[in-house]
Amino acid sequence: MTTKQTYTIRQVSELCSLPPSTLRYYEEVGLLKDVPRKGQRRIYEQRHLNRLGAINCFKHTGMTIQQIQKFFYYEDETQDYDTLVTMLQEQCTALEEQLTLLLDNQAHLQNKLKTYEERKDAFEAEHAVNSPS
Contact assessment for residue 84 and residue 70, using Cβ atoms and an 8 Å cutoff? no
- CA-wise closest residue to 53 among 80, 26, 34, 79: 26
The 8-class DSSP code of residue 75 comes to I
Contact assessment for residue 74 and residue 80, using Cβ atoms and an 8 Å cutoff? yes
Domain edges within the chain:
1-63, 80-133
Q: Which CATH architecture has domain 1-63?
A: Orthogonal Bundle (1.10)
CA 66 → CA 33, 34, 53, 70, 127, distances in Å?
Answer: 16, 19, 17, 6, 59
Give the number of residues written for the chain: 133
The 8-class DSSP code of residue 32 comes to S
pLDDT digits (tens, 9 = 90+) for 29-63: 999 999 999 999 999 999 999 999 999 999 999 99
pLDDT digits (tens, 9 = 90+) for 78-122: 889 999 999 999 999 999 999 999 999 999 999 999 999 999 999
Radius of gyration of the chain (CA): 25
Is pTM, for the whole model, over 0.85?
Answer: no
